[in-house]
Amino acid sequence: MKNAKLISIISIVLAVVLLACGAVLGFDRGSDIGGTYVLSVQLNEKFQVKDIEAIMKEAGATGCIVQTVQKTTVNEFDAGEGVLISFEVEDDTKAQEVADKAQQLISDKYFLAFPGEFEFFSSTFNRQTAIKMWPVAIVFIALLAYAFIRFGLKMGLTFILDMFIPTAITAGLIAIIGIKVTNFTIPALLIVMALSFMFTFVFAMLLKDYKTKYSIEEAFNTAIKQVSSMALIVSLITIVAFTVLLIIGSALIKNFAIVTIMGVAINMATIIYVLPSLANNKKA
């Protein structure tokens, strides 16, 4: 491939620059999208779920789920049951004010057995979350080690670069755009890394097999065409699915959907345009 080395260098430099921008600008570890506010109350009268939902909406919540420990899908609750109201708020809305207003509105309609308890269950990404991710890191290291053993040093480096480039570019754009980093962001980046590994693995398998049947050039071109087609189809299906999730999903998963869509699109471009350059520089 013409200019293969130039494309590889530009891609790596772009990934490093964007990742550096992320480090300089910093990542917004938000809590508004990444967590759930919970109001616990106990009512001494029967009540309908739809009534509580209407009250929460009037109080300023953007969405809520009403449930108890024993019941999660019924439309009516008995008197005396403890109720958990999980709700979300807009970025500029104070959750405590929403909870206070909701309690007042609920007490106006029903009798509260005791004052409600307001809590926040955060899924904001932090150091403790990072420490808990060590099993995932071990899995990826094991997969890369397997790739090095099976396909050799040069192809193993292609695996690393092909996983690093889309992930680094996505992470850099997250910081530049200002997307909040929460526990929902990390699985999205892991999806990008997993897809990168999968497509590169398929390419390496095809190339190894075709080398026994065709010339190196023909084997390389055939493997690239098949993997590029596969990456295009899988990526487009994934993007469509997560776009639907972005449209109809709650605020708690919009972060996950946005980062996944962005990362999968970047990964698709990497597989189609950059992988041939990286592999071409490394092929024997």
Q: What is the pLDDT of residues 187-210, one digit of tens each?
A: 899 999 999 999 999 999 999 999
Q: Give the DSSP H/E element, type plus range, for residue 147.
A: helix 134-151
pLDDT at 202: 95
Its pTM surpasses 0.75: no
Give the model's pLDDT for residue 53. Answer: 83
Instruction: Going from the first residue of the chain to its last (284 residues), give the mean pLDDT of each consecutive group of 10, the final group possibly shorter.
Output: 71 87 70 58 73 85 69 56 74 75 79 58 54 81 94 91 93 85 82 95 93 89 93 95 84 80 94 84 50
Return the pLDDT at 34. 41
The amino acid at 171: A
Looking at residue 68, its pLDDT comes to 62
Q: How far is CA 47 from the centre of its chain?
A: 37
The answer to whether 192 touches 264, Cβ cutoff 8 Å, is yes
Cα–Cα distance between 261 and 177 in angstroms, integer? 14
Q: Tokens 């899988």 appear where?
A: 234
**CB burial string 136-162: b at 16+ within 10 A, e below:** eeeeeeebeeebbeebeeebbebbbbb
For residue 253, count other CB atoms closer than 10 A to its CB.
16
According to DSSP, residue 33 is labeled T
What is the per-residue pLDDT for 55? 85
